[in-house]
């Protein structure tokens, strides 16, 4: 039952991301204008490239950002999550980065996550909803702190990995807002599911 509920929440979040992007991205795409033409109908001058936020459109871009959302936390609870991330793009369609997040109910019942991420960006797609999207694989470590008795906290470290699906919408030359859903398999006491739903703000340098 728990696995079915987790799967339903993940599917609902993906639909939410898709629906939001389908509303905003066509408005961005409609702002595009064709290049100027001369009297013979040919292109007289190529327009100067416009800088758009996001590693998908600029090679070797570096970004920093912050995120917030919710995540499963120890004792089968759902808690607020916030953190920071950074990354670079050594190739046009691929970016590499890492993120540090903290989720929890109280200081003594919390989860810290440190993950690396490799993402593929669908920059060559002609579909607006896909062009600004990406899929990635994450791998890293969890640190759980659980209050087991008054004045006594148990701390556990264990690995995890899993996929992410998300998008970044350019809102200014070097800024973007986005959302992503993460599904992580952790190995605290055998394989377990961890679900994260995040909203983010990123700046490209």
Chain segment 54-102, per-residue pLDDT in tens = 444 455 578 999 999 988 766 666 778 999 999 998 888 899 999 999 9
Q: CA of 14: how far to CAs of 54, 59, 68, 79, 164, in Å?
A: 20, 27, 17, 20, 10
Kindly list the structural domains of the chain, giving each domain's residue range(s) and its CATH number in brackets, ordered by start: 2-30+55-204 (2.40.160.20)
Q: How far apart are CA 115 and CA 102, in angstroms?
A: 12
**What backbone torsions phi and psi does residue 111 show, to the nearest 5 degrees?**
-135, 130
- pTM higher than 0.75, yes or no? no
Dihedral sign, Cα of residue 150, residue 142, residue 54, residue 80: negative
């Amino acid at each position: 039952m728990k696995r079915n509920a987790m799967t339903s929440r993940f599917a609902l979040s993906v639909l939410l991301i898709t629906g939001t992007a389908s509303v905003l991205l066509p408005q961005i795409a409609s702002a595009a204008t064709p290049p100027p033409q001369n009297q013979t109908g040919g292109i007289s001058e190529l327009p100067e490239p416009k800088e758009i936020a996001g590693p998908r459109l600029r090679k070797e871009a570096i970004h920093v950002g912050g995120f917030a959302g919710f995540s499963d936390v120890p004792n089968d609870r759902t808690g607020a999550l916030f953190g920071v991330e950074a990354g670079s793009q050594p190739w046009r369609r691929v970016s590499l980065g890492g993120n540090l997040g903290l989720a929890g109910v109280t200081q003594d019942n919390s989860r810290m996550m440190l993950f690396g991420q490799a993402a593929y960006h669908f920059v060559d797609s002609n579909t607006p909803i896909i062009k600004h999207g990406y899929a990635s694989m994450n791998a890293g470590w969890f640190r759980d702190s659980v209050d087991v008795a008054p004045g006594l906290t148990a701390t556990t470290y264990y690995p995890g990995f899993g996929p992410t699906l998300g998008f970044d919408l350019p809102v200014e030359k070097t800024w973007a807002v986005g959302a992503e859903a993460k599904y992580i398999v952790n190995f605290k006491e055998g394989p377990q599911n961890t679900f994260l739903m995040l909203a983010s703000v990123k700046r490209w340098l």
